[in-house]
Amino acid sequence: MANSQETYEALRNTMFLDPRKVDISLSDAAEQAKQHEKEGDLVKAKVWYEIAGGLAIHKGDVKKVAEYFKKCEGVAQGTKYTILKNPEEAVAKAQEYYKQFLKG
C-alpha cells in the first residue's frame, strides 16, 4: 500500500475494533467458512471468511489474513479486498491500534 490512508481504508472494512466481543475462535470461524463453501452457500462462506480474516488481523497472523481474504475474493466474485495489497503493513497498523486501545 502506497500510504497510510490506503492502509486505514483497507482496515476499515476488515478489522474488528474490539475482537474480544466476537464470541467465536479463529479456527471455528474458518471451519464454518469451509463448511458453507463446501455446501455451496457462498454468501455465508464469505461472511465466515471475513470473520476469520478479522480475527487473524487481531492475532497478527499475516499469512492467515491473506489466506482468508483471498478466499473471500474467491467465493464473492467481483469483491476485492485492498488489505491483500500489503497485508503486512495493514496487520502492523492494526497491532498498533490493539496495543493502544485494547489494554487489559
Tens of pLDDT, residue by residue, the chain (104 residues): 446 888 999 999 999 999 999 999 999 999 999 999 999 999 999 999 999 999 999 999 999 999 999 999 999 988 999 999 999 999 999 999 999 998 75
Closest CA to 58 of 102, 8, 94, 96: 94
Q: How many structural domains compose the chain? A: 1
Give the C-alpha separation, 82 to 6, whole Å: 8
Give the C-alpha separation, 56 to 104, whole Å: 19
How much is the pLDDT for 3?
65
Give the C-alpha separation, 4 to 20, whole Å: 25
Cβ neighbours of residue 37 closer than 8 Å, sequence gap 6 or more: 45, 71, 75
The parent domain of residue 54 ranges over 4-101
How much is the pLDDT for 104?
55
Give the C-alpha separation, 89 to 93, whole Å: 6
